[in-house]
Amino acid sequence: MGKAHPPELKKCMDKKLLLKLNGGRYVQGILWGSDPFMTLVIGEPVEMATGGQQNNTGLVAIRGDIMLSQSWNQYKQWLCSSAIQ
C-alpha cells in the first residue's frame, strides 16, 4: 500500500475559496492555512445561508471531514476545483 499524498493547497493560499460543506452549507473566505488532516483556516469568512442570507462569522477553522468540495476563483475564472475524498 502506498503513502497517502497530502492535498496540494499551497497554490490556493491567500486565495478566495468557496467551500461546500455537509448539510447544504457554503462558506466563502480566504485560505490562510491548512494541516495534513485537511483542516482549513479561513479568514474573512462569509456563511452563505439558505434564502440568500449572508453571515460574517470571523476567523474559522473547518475540519476536513465536513467538506464536500472546494474551489478557488482568480480573475473570475474557476481554475481549480476538487472533490475531497
pTM: 0.68
Does residue 39 fall inside a structural domain? yes
**Number of domains observed in the structure of the chain:** 1
Q: For residue 31, what is the domain's CATH number?
A: 2.30.30.100
Does residue 82 fall inside a structural domain? no
Does residue 20 fall inside a structural domain? yes
Does residue 84 fall inside a structural domain? no
Diameter of the chain measured on Cα atoms: 46
Burial of 40 (0-12, 13-18, 19+ CB in 10 A): buried
Domain range for 38 is 12-73
- Computed from CA positions of residues 34, 38, 41, 45, in that sequence, does the dihedral angle turn out positive or negative? positive
DSSP state of 66: G
| pLDDT tier, 7 (very low <50, low <70, confident <90, very high otherwise) | low
Q: Is residue 14 scored above 80 in pLDDT?
A: yes
Does residue 4 fall inside a structural domain? no
At which residue does the C-alpha cell 496540494 appear? Answer: 8
Q: What is the pLDDT of residue 5?
A: 54
Q: What is the pLDDT of residue 23?
A: 78
Distance of CA 51 to the CA centre of its chain: 21
Mean pLDDT of the 45-64 span: 84
